[in-house]
Structure 1
Amino acid sequence: MAYAKLGYTGTTIGLSGPTLAYTSVNLSGYTLGLGYKQMVSQSLYAFGEVNYGSYGNKSLSPTLTNGTALSGMTVSGNGLDFLVGIGYRF
């Protein structure tokens, strides 16, 4: 059985460094996925999925440890993951 997935995703990214005070930003976006599930016996199944997530752009204004504010920074992200497994149906 083939299936598709659509969803919401969110994450928090933290930035810091020797001269950069800790700053965090929350990103949100969407996730898309495709999968396949196959029964291999009456109770046992195997499956595989691929999922893609994309986060929108967000402006960021971090501060250096000396108090100087930076501006004009934009963060975004995306990711891809693969999942394979087996399951038991009761």
Structure 2
Amino acid sequence: MTAYSLAVQADVRKRMSPPNRQDVPQISRELGIHRSTLYQWRSNWRLQGEVVSASEKQLEGWNAADKFTVVVETPGFNATELSS
């Protein structure tokens, strides 16, 4: 089993999160990380309350939990954070 650095995991989380929303198969191809590893990471991040959709679906395709998490997190953002 390959151990990935926190920097690699942070890069993957960023790719999965809005506004990037790259899908798991694309990330797997680009980084050479097995899909099951990426799905496990995504599942763990979601359990921690992070928004990692890992889907190219528009907001209308998000589930209620992802939408709620975004609503809870965004009030504390400044203008720069909201624009990215």
Which structure: larger Rg? Answer: 1
Bin of the TM-score, shorter chain as denominator length:
under 0.3
Please identify which structure carries the higher strand content. 1
User: TM-score if structure 1 supplies the norm length?
Assistant: 0.19
Please identify which structure carries the higher helix content. 2
